[in-house]
Structure 1
Amino acid sequence: MTSDGVRTFGVEEELLLVDGTTGLPLAASCALLEEHADAAGPKLEAELQQEMIEVVSSAPRTLAHLVSDVVDGRAAADRAARAVGARAAALATSPMPGRPHVHPTERFGTIIDRYGVLARDNLTCGMHVHVFVTSQREGVGVLDRIRNWLPVLVALSANSPFFGGRDTGFASYRSQVWQGWPSAGPSPVYGSPGAYRAREEELMATGVLLDRKMLYFDARLSHAYPTVEIRVADVCLFAEDAGVIAALARGLVETAARDWRAGLPPAAISAPALRLASWQARLSGMNGNLVHPLTGRPAPAPAVVADLLAHVLPALADAGDTETVADGLVRVIARGTGADRQRGVLHRTGRLADVVTDAVEVTHAFDRSGTLARAMHPGGD
């Protein structure tokens, strides 16, 4: 947290590596990382499959700096990818069919051997948001008070309608696949750091999980940083949407911390009900109804997003993010999510390869002048 009380935050984006002509996923991460090894700038890391690369931002204070990090990270990944015959695309699943290839590390190999087809066929790209917290007590207080809002972030970030060459019917099929991992999903209200640690120990004691990195809660206390890590979002097709999701995540953390300090109780919604809310968000994205985080009843997605904005508005104002986030949400509602963009391209062209080509263009189309590049407009016309 900076001296003015604004929390630092950062993102980890997983990008899909593809053939720029055919749209097929490419096992290029080993060569890409070797190409990037001596390069200055954004940090690139291996992921489970060689068809993926992770880009790690810094931990800035301002939203403008974070979006700049996202844009720079995507550009760095694409430069290295181009050098080895690939492109980096912000796609949360591959529209084109392809068999993933595990990145050659001992841990990843063990995961592939142990978790069967769930791991072997896993080719999904998410975005994790880290937000600074002052202590584990504050962090658990935050986790208990943001859990009911996380399905809205799923809907806003939805960017994975296709899998294995067909339309899944989901806006965020990545999230649906992710629920197959043993510890994935919403958490109960913990109430204290002791209860949180006890839950971790209970799950680790089963022997089902390889290590603590596989505690795949929707949101968790980071074991590496003094942060809450929010893990529900698809990687966003549009770089500016990634900034909006990150700013909303920071707003949720700050709002929750204030409510915790004020002694306000968490929302009384069960983990099974949250699982249903998340399922609905994965299915419909921003089209149709979501489960309202406060009432537990269906409500139109734009109305739920408006209530999320109202919920975090004081925190956004204190961080200087209000106008950017409000404008960004209006833009998402008007032009649709990444999933809507992908389906629109397929409807126009009839070719999934064109969906990938368009996604590569949009991934790298952010205009630093503050206006949207031509490829950002609905339809890309």
Structure 2
Amino acid sequence: MSPSGRIPDVVPATIRDVTNTPAPRFDPGCPMVGVEEEYLVVDPVTREVVPRAAEVIARAALELGDRTNPEITRYQVEAKTPPCADLSGLGARLRDMRNTVAASARAHGLAIVASGTPVLGDVMPPLITDDPRYEIGIATYRSLHDDQAICAGHVHVHLPDREAAVLVSNHLRPWLPALIAMTANSPLRAGRDTGYASRRTLSWSKWPVAGPPPYFASLADHDAIVARLTEAGVLVDPGTIFWDVRPSSRLPTLEVRVTDVPATAGESALLAALVRALVVTALARVAAGDPGPHLSAELLRAAYWQAARDGLEGDGICPVTGTRQPAEDLLDALVRHCRPALDQTGDLPAVTERVDWLRAHGTGAARQRAALAVRGRPADVVDFLVEQTSPA
């Protein structure tokens, strides 16, 4: 396994986005999809994370506008693509977005890395971005914020019907561990190997409304639970519903937010293609009256933990049967499950190629460890991540 391998690109095609245009017509067979990514700002000399995200965001916004924003800590930059209809267009948008943020960082003598956790730097407690909402959050959640210098990848799929979005989430729950495993990209933290492929997943699971979403009988059931949580003082606002699948509180989308930020733009595009195919597959089942599987909460929690520990490099747990299987087999099962939808969206050839690449080169976590193994220097991992995030 070579840490220098790059995921193959697909030929760019016309990007059909909805920036500054009326809401698009909903296509249940090929809905629009967009991606949000979070990056860490690092000093290219010390390789440590630094609290200078505001400078990077201000410069990147000259090109990206409101598609780049602050995150909860001053170490993080958030950027998002516009909605796209085709995978090649999304891949081009992801590369352009990463290149813009990376160039903005270089202009300030900095760099960015796509990693779920900081490889180097003392970030506990982290410096929190100035924002009244975050002040309320700190008062509510207290030391949970100490572990929040972590970066995720979020996929939004256009679903204007909130009832359908909630019912679709029931069908996505069994596949969330496989998504964690294939995107695992946070094995190191503060200079040491944590022993986990996705240490970020464990950090995130501490929050009171986080992890896999509950099984919902209906939108009314969902809204009633959210109302009770709000009344109990567990939520600051709808944005603090951190379930790994949720109807967006701001957009006509279903948001899947279960994974580490992928190391490369190609892996991020692969994630988006699979999430959209899962949504398309689930929509057809919901329309046919299939309520989705009722999973054991204990098995699903165990499957999350196993995926976070070993990524694709070990075994996983099928949350439906509880059987132990090679994690790569669970990924193959996911692709088989949504193969008709991938055919329908036209994404199957690119997804097949990228899954083969991932199998050959390993997850971001495996590649980080390969970079570390060469000389045993965590600084080399940061350099590797800088190149993977936005290749020169």
TM-score by length of 1: 0.92
- Name which structure has the greater RCO, CA cutoff 8 Å, separation 6+: 2
Match of 1:30 in 2: 54
Deviation at 1:212, TM superposition (A): 1.4
Give the AA of the match of 1:237: A
Q: Residue 239 in 1 paired to residue 265 in 2?
A: yes
Paired residue secondary structure (1:12): strand
Which of 254, 264, 269 is the matching residue for 2:280?
Answer: 254
Paired residue secondary structure (2:119): coil
Match of 1:338 in 2: 364
Deviation per CA, 1:41-71: give whole Å up to 9, x if none: 6821100111110011100100111111111
Which of 104, 128, 152 is the matching residue for 2:178?
Answer: 152
Match of 2:331 in 1: 305
8 Å contact 1:48–1:103 — kept in the other structure?
yes
Mark the runs of 5 or more structure 2 residues left unpaired by the alignment: 1-24
| C-alpha distance in 2 between matches for 1:238 and 1:37 | 21
- Describe the shift of the 1:190–1:341 C-alpha distance in structure 2 as closer, same or farther (beyond 3 A): same
Match of 2:169 in 1: 143
Q: Residue 52 in 1 paired to residue 69 in 2?
A: no
Aligned length: 366
Deviation per CA, 1:114-159: give whole Å up to 9, x if none: 4233203421000010011141221112011111111100000000
Which of 302, 306, 317 is the matching residue for 1:276?
Answer: 302
Deviation at 1:96, TM superposition (A): 0.7
Which of 121, 126, 132 is the matching residue for 1:97?
Answer: 121
Matches within 5 A, 1:1-381: 5-40=29-64, 43-99=67-123, 100-365=126-391
Give the AA of the match of 2:288: A
Give the AA of the match of 2:148: N
Paired residue secondary structure (1:265): coil
Deviation per CA, 1:333-368: give whole Å up to 9, x if none: 1110000011111111211111001100111128xx
- Describe the shift of the 1:170–1:42 C-alpha distance in structure 2 as closer, same or farther (beyond 3 A): same
8 Å contact 1:183–1:217 — kept in the other structure?
yes
8 Å contact 2:188–2:194 — kept in the other structure?
yes
8 Å contact 1:95–1:163 — kept in the other structure?
yes
8 Å contact 2:153–2:260 — kept in the other structure?
yes
8 Å contact 2:299–2:319 — kept in the other structure?
no
| C-alpha distance in 1 between matches for 2:319 and 2:352 | 19
Give the AA of the match of 2:137: I
Q: Identity across aligned pairs (percent)?
A: 36
Deviation at 1:271, TM superposition (A): 2.5
Match of 2:15 in 1: none
Give the AA of the match of 1:207: G
Give the AA of the match of 2:109: G
TM-score by length of 2: 0.90
Mark the runs of 5 or more structure 1 residues left unpaired by the alignment: 367-381
Deviation per CA, 1:295-341: give whole Å up to 9, x if none: 22111111111111010001011100001111111111111000001
8 Å contact 1:43–1:73 — kept in the other structure?
no
CA-atom RMSD, angstroms?
1.6
| C-alpha distance in 2 between matches for 1:7 and 1:316 | 12
| C-alpha distance in 1 between matches for 2:64 and 2:58 | 13
| C-alpha distance in 2 between matches for 1:57 and 1:318 | 23
- Find runs of 4+ consecutive structure 1 residues off by over 4 angstroms: 1-4
| C-alpha distance in 2 between matches for 1:360 and 1:281 | 25
| C-alpha distance in 1 between matches for 2:300 and 2:28 | 34
